Structure formats: structure tokens, C-alpha cells
């Protein structure tokens, strides 16, 4: 009986190995070969940048000027001041006097209904005068004055959705390396999905889409009852192979600060994972297979090594997968400003798959009730 169990577990280990190879070779390798356009394009498309902010006075003061001072001929910035009770209103008033292309939409608390980010964004989109829109957050800073230019040029194609990338600043905080690693791995998945003709999510810190698409699909109506998901659920429902494009030139990155405590990071990830169960079935299956196969791969590897059952073969398969990861991921991590993290791969990859399964389980049962 014991031999049968060992054989069954090792067969399962090999199946997990094959599934993981599929994700690496079929899904991720194309991103490693992808090259963004280097030459700065000339673009004359009018653009509206939309930012929803709640109690973000400090971030608005620090980051908003870098957006308002973009090197672009025709753009406006729409900031929705969503029920803030800090000094956001004063900060925005001061900036409006200096920057005439800043438009402020103010939302106040109402006893009869609760506001949320989706409601705020909807008002901002209605207030925007332009068809083509870029989205980011108040705590984000563009990597260059060419952020709008390089993002907007993609609207000159048939694309209605632009998926950008938003890394975290590198710091000495103990959580920072893994938070940055997890962000890159998430980006690898959704950027690869789009490159392979199956886009399934985007991030609101760096995203673009058209007003026509938003209103023709009734905006966030189908998931307005869910607090999170203004970015990934919208993309999941409406992105197709024909209307979606990625943009990962380093000048288009929007940087932000990572959470610095386990408690704050947990709250953030719990909120994000809670919407995964609302993805299309095929995307939930795809992400679940990756998460479960990766987790079982490591669990069964440890079992094989501890009980010394086909240990050399198991170690060989692990080494082969690791080498393939290093070959494919080294190029991607460099493109996504994480080349220093590639050497953490053997250790962080294990934690990453544990994290996916734990937070995936938590997200299945818990609901989020606030966005700030």
C-alpha cells in the first residue's frame, strides 16, 4: 500500500511539473521576448487622466504635479475628491490656480447612500471631456514626463484598453522584496495573458480605456455591489484579444510605495483577492491551476526528498524547472525593474505559491466593505 501511495504522489508531482512547464513556456516566454517601442512617438490624441482620491492630501501634493507637468500637448487631469476630510480640498484649490488643465470633482458624504471608488470614478469619467482616458492613483508617480505620450500612442491602434505596469519603490523594509516579487509575478501573468490573446485583468494604478467602451458596457454596473474590482473586474469582463494592448516601456511605469507592515499588506491583498471569484470561469480555472500546481509541486518535492522516494529524479525536475525559470524570468524581471529580485527566486517562489493558495481561500469567504 505504501508503494502505491508513493507512486501516486510521484505521478502527481510529475503532472504538476508538466503544468508548471506549460505556464512557463506557453504563457510567459513570449513576454520575455517582447520589446516595447523605444523611439518616442508623436501623438496628438486628446487624453483625460482620471484619479480618484480619498484623504490623499499628502500624496496629491507630492505626486500630482508630476502628472500635471507631463510633456504632452493636449490633456486634462480629473481628480475626484471623494469625501475627503483632510486638507485635500485646499491642496487641489491651490493646484487649480496654477494648472488650468486640472479639473476637480468633489463628492460629499450623504446619509442615504455610501460612496466608493467605482462611484467616484464613474463621476470622473462623466466629467472627462475626452474619449481616451488614463487612470492612476494619487499615491502613484509616473516614471517620466513621457508617461501620457507612450501610453496614449496605443490608442492610435484599434485598442480600447491599455494595460500598463506599476512597480513598487525599492526600500530596505523587510517586506519590500517579496511585495515587489509578487507584483512582478502578477504582472507576468496578466501581461502574458494579453500577449497571448487572452487578457483577464489590469491594475488601476496604470490603466487606459475609452469612454465609449465604458458607457457601452454600462460601466461598473454589473459589479457595483463589490467594493474592489474597478480595474481587474472591468478588464476581465470587457477585454478581448482585439481590443487590448500592453505597454511596458520603463517611461510608462507608475511607481508607488509598498505596504510596510504585515497587517496593512494583509488588508490590501485580502481586498484584491476577494474579487477573483468573480472572474470569468476560464480565467478562474487558469489561475487556480497555476496556483494549485505550483503549491503541490513544492509540497510533493519536499515529501519525495524527506522520504527519499525518487529523490534524485524529483531534485532533477526541480532543478530543470528552476533553470528554465531563470532563463525566462531574468529578462522579464529586468524589463519590469526587478532584476535584483531574480536571485530570490528559489525562496520567494515557494512563498508565492503558498500566498496564492492562502489568500485565494480567504478571498472566497470574506467580503470587503471599504476602499479607503
Predicted pLDDT at 371:
45
Predicted pLDDT at 363:
60
> Which secondary structure element, helix H or strand E, spans residue 51, and what is its range?
strand 47-53
Predicted pLDDT at 226:
79
Predicted pLDDT at 121:
96
Predicted pLDDT at 369:
46
| Rounded Cα gap, residues 2 and 333, in angstroms | 42
The whole-number mean pLDDT for each consecutive block of 10 residues of the chain, a chain of 372 residues, reads 79 96 95 94 96 96 98 97 94 96 91 77 97 98 98 96 98 95 97 97 97 94 82 94 98 96 83 79 93 96 91 95 97 97 95 89 57 48
Phi and psi torsions of 127, nearest 5°: -80, -20
What is the bridge-based pairing of β-strands 207-210 and 254-255?
Answer: unpaired
| Rounded Cα gap, residues 371 and 114, in angstroms | 11
Predicted pLDDT at 207:
98
> Which secondary structure element, helix H or strand E, spans residue 186, and what is its range?
helix 176-195
Q: What is the pTM of this model?
A: 0.93
Amino acid at each position: 500500500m505504501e508503494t502505491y501511495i508513493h507512486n501516486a504522489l510521484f505521478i502527481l508531482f510529475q503532472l504538476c511539473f508538466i503544468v508548471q512547464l506549460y505556464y512557463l513556456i506557453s504563457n510567459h516566454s513570449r513576454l520575455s521576448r517582447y520589446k516595447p517601442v523605444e523611439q518616442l512617438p508623436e501623438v496628438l490624441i486628446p487624453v483625460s487622466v482620471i484619479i480618484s482620491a480619498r484623504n490623499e492630501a499628502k500624496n496629491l501634493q507630492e505626486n500630482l504635479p508630476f502628472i500635471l507637468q507631463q510633456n504632452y500637448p493636449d490633456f486634462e487631469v480629473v481628480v475626484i475628491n471623494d469625501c475627503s476630510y483632510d486638507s485635500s480640498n485646499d491642496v487641489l484649490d491651490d493646484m487649480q490656480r496654477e494648472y488650468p488643465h486640472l479639473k476637480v470633482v468633489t463628492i460629499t458624504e450623504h446619509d442615504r447612500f455610501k460612496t466608493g471608488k467605482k462611484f467616484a470614478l464613474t463621476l470622473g469619467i462623466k466629467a472627462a471631456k475626452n474619449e481616451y482616458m488614463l487612470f492612476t492613483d494619487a499615491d502613484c508617480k509616473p516614471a517620466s514626463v513621457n508617461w501620457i505620450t507612450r501610453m496614449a500612442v496605443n490608442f492610435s491602434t484599434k485598442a480600447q484598453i491599455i494595460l500598463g505596469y506599476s512597480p513598487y519603490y525599492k526600500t530596505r523594509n523587510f517586506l519590500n522584496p517579496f511585495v515587489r516579487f509578487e507584483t512582478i509575478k502578477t504582472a507576468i501573468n496578466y501581461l502574458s495573458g494579453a500577449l497571448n490573446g487572452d487578457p483577464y485583468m489590469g491594475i488601476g494604478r496604470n490603466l487606459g480605456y475609452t469612454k465609449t467602451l465604458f458607457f457601452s458596457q454600462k460601466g461598473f454596473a454589473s459589479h457595483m455591489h463589490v467594493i474592489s474590482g474597478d480595474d481587474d473586474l472591468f478588464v476581465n469582463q470587457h477585454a478581448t484579444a482585439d481590443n487590448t494592448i500592453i505597454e511596458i516601456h520603463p517611461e510608462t511605469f507608475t511607481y508607488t510605495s509598498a505596504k510596510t507592515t504585515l497587517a496593512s499588506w494583509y488588508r490590501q491583498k485580502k481586498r484584491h483577492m476577494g474579487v477573483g471569484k468573480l472572474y470569468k470561469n476560464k480565467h478562474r480555472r487558469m489561475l487556480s491551476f497555476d496556483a494549485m500546481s505550483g503549491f503541490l509541486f513544492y509540497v510533493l518535492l519536499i515529501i519525495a526528498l524527506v522520504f527519499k522516494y525518487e529523490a534524485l529524479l524529483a531534485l532533477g525536475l526541480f532543478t530543470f524547472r528552476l533553470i528554465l525559470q531563470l532563463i525566462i524570468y531574468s529578462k522579464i524581471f529586468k524589463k519590469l525593474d526587478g532584476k535584483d529580485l531574480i536571485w530570490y527566486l528559489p525562496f520567494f517562489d515557494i512563498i508565492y505559491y503558498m500566498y496564492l493558495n492562502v489568500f485565494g481561500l480567504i478571498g472566497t469567504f470574506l467580503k470587503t466593505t471599504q476602499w479607503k
